[in-house]
Copies of this chain bind each other. A is one copy, B any other.
């Protein structure tokens, strides 16, 4: 079957799905997957939709994508320029979802060499407690089992191996209220946060080698809030930090690092809002080695956290491979190109044994 993947991506982008409001897009993909009929068996839990073949194959490949987007950035209306689709979610990751839906169509009449599970889930762009894949692993782990998981996060056609861990902490600075004309009677909580901001602004994040891949870490203030009234010395300032760390050390060590960093800058309280482990690159795993080797895919480390870490934590090797430039994710310039959508679908179908092998990459 030939697919207009750009048009399908545009349809998906036309349904807003900022985290927390994924019901409409879940309805859309559920209806479409149910329409495929046998051999796809479709389950839905909340705004999470899972479609599985049950062909009795020895091994099962899980292909995953999240339904939600970050908030719009003046780019909520998708628009095409030739064979490029611009707008919120085009790259992260409705282009990947379009590939999954096309794959579902093509699986129906085919004889793939693996059983295949498609997982489309909500709540990936927000705190881990909202993550739909987390819910599936907790409530229906059989639905998401497999021998290899591929997340269709935007990777620009590369294999992005493993992923960095991500930690959010909220540092709180206390103060003492006073009339702002007599600040010496109080203590300014926002002023007390200045050293933490300064240390974050000048933080020299490391680049860490794991399996010869260079994971570039980061530390960013992503939120700050303080102040009660314009005439009052504020008694509270909260700062949310996001730490991204390489899969070179355990989660506990990375959490301890960032908590200490905040404490050293004078924070009175440091609350860990969420902490997600990193995933190792796993380049020597047979299925990952095969997909890289047979199709001669370029490999680089995944800097953003993705649910490959969740699969890894459940003992399922996983990598990222999807259409769209990851550096454009969460920016106003987010976009995806038709040629990358087509290439991603072709490669996955070849790997699953239901399509022509794609041409080898130019060297």
Residues of A within 8 A of B (CB): 70-71, 73, 125-127, 164, 166, 168, 176-183, 185-186, 188, 190-195, 197-198, 200-201, 218, 220-234, 237, 240, 242, 244, 273, 303-305, 326-327, 329-332
Contact = CB atoms under 8 A, between A and B. Distances in A.
Given A71-B228, A221-B188, A327 B198 contact: no
Contacts of A233: 220, 222
A331 B178 CA distance: 5
Contacts of A229: 70-71, 125-126, 222
Most buried by B among A168, A181, A183: A181
Given A182-B326, A190-B197, A198-B198, A224 B222 contact: no
Given A188-B201, A198-B198, A226 B228 contact: no
24 contacts: A71-B228, A126-B230, A127-B230, A177-B330, A177-B331, A179-B329, A179-B331, A180-B218, A181-B218, A181-B305, A182-B218, A183-B218, A186-B331, A188-B221, A190-B221, A191-B197, A191-B201, A194-B194, A197-B197, A221-B234, A223-B226, A224-B224, A224-B237, A227-B240
Contacts of A185: 327, 331
A125 B194 CA distance: 27
A161 to B, nearest CB: 15
Main SS at interface, chain A: mixed
Given A191-B200, A221-B191, A73 B177 contact: yes
A186 B333 CA distance: 12
A181 B180 CA distance: 38
Contacts of A179: 304, 326-327, 329-331
Contacts of A221: 188, 190-191, 226-227, 234
Most buried by B among A71, A198, A224, A304: A224
A234 to B, nearest CB: 6
A222 to B, nearest CB: 5
Contacts of A232: 70, 222, 330
